[in-house]
Amino acid sequence: MAARLVFLGRLEDLAGTGELAVPPGPLEQVLAALDPALAVELLGERVRMALNGALLGDAGAVVLAEGDELAFLPPVSGG
Amino acid sequence: MADVRLLGDAFSAADELAAFTAAHPHAGGLVSFLGQVRREEGPHAVEALELKHYAAMTLPGMAALAAATEARWRLDGLLILHRYGVMHPGDPIVLVAAAARHRRDAFAAADFAMDHLKSQSWFWKREKTAKGWRWIEPRPDDHRDLARW
């Protein structure tokens, strides 16, 4: 089983997919394996991250385990 | 207990409001807000709008907003409906209604819930015009609206 990245909003267009299965491990390592242009967008200061549905304050120390879902959330616009 | 729903299909605001009103006969006042897809003319007119949500967070976030609203004002009932998916001009997007013994609580609660739905709920919006689809970023106004609370 792998971990899963979820791309919301415009990030889905940039990634070309809404979800991506990745090998578990430190976030740094997971991002290093992606297209660098996408990784830069994912780390943008307006993009927030949520691990298994809970917002992360500091993403620096994230290590993805098997079955984890890490979502990248650009600024929202509802209503 | 609030009625909070995330809907993938069109809904009738009139039917929903009628049911909500009937469910709260002791409320002296009901305030509702309906947001719909704007109909426009001209080359920049929006032909369709799509709202995306994130299953792990969007509905739980709406439920938390409802709980915060109910904790802040004395309400008899609260209704929060929000669409996701593709919508067209005239389609309802969001319906918020608050029922209360006194009207000021109902006005304020509906206003508070709408401001937070607009700028703090987990939805991402894109619009289709003659030029194709375009993602919509939040407006500075949305954040100013939040600062009121």
pLDDT digits (tens, 9 = 90+) for B81-109: 999 999 999 999 999 999 999 999 999 99
Give me the pLDDT at residue B146, please: 83
B36 touches chain A (CB under 8 A): no
Cβ contacts (< 8 Å) between B125 and chain A: which residues? 77-78
Q: CA A24, CA A28: separation in Å to the nearest integer? A: 11
Instruction: Show the CA angle centred on residue A71, arms to residues A31 and B2, nearest 5°.
Output: 170
Cross-chain residue pair B54–A73, CB shorter than 8 Å: yes
Instruction: Domains for chain B: give ranges and CATH numbers.
Output: 3-147 (3.90.1170.40)
State the pTM of this model.
0.92
B140 touches chain A (CB under 8 A): no
Spatial contact of A19 and A7, defined as CB atoms under 8 Å apart:
yes
Residue B139's pLDDT band (cuts 50, 70, 90): confident
Smallest CA–CA separation between B51 and chain A, in Å?
A: 7
Residue A79's pLDDT band (cuts 50, 70, 90): low
Residue A58's pLDDT band (cuts 50, 70, 90): confident
Cross-chain residue pair A78–B123, CB shorter than 8 Å: yes
How much is the mean pLDDT over chain B? 94
Q: CA B86, CA B46: separation in Å to the nearest integer? A: 12
Query: Average pLDDT for residues A40-66, to the nearest whole number?
Result: 91
In chain B, the percentage of residues whose pLDDT exceeds 90 is: 85
Smallest CA–CA separation between A19 and chain B, in Å?
A: 12
Specify the amino acid at residue B43. P
Cross-chain residue pair B137–A13, CB shorter than 8 Å: no
Cβ contacts (< 8 Å) between A49 and chain B: which residues? none
Residue B142's pLDDT band (cuts 50, 70, 90): confident
Strand ranges, E, within B29-114: 29-36, 48-53, 77-83, 85-87, 92-100
For the cut 80, the answer to whether the pLDDT of residue B140 exceeds it is: no
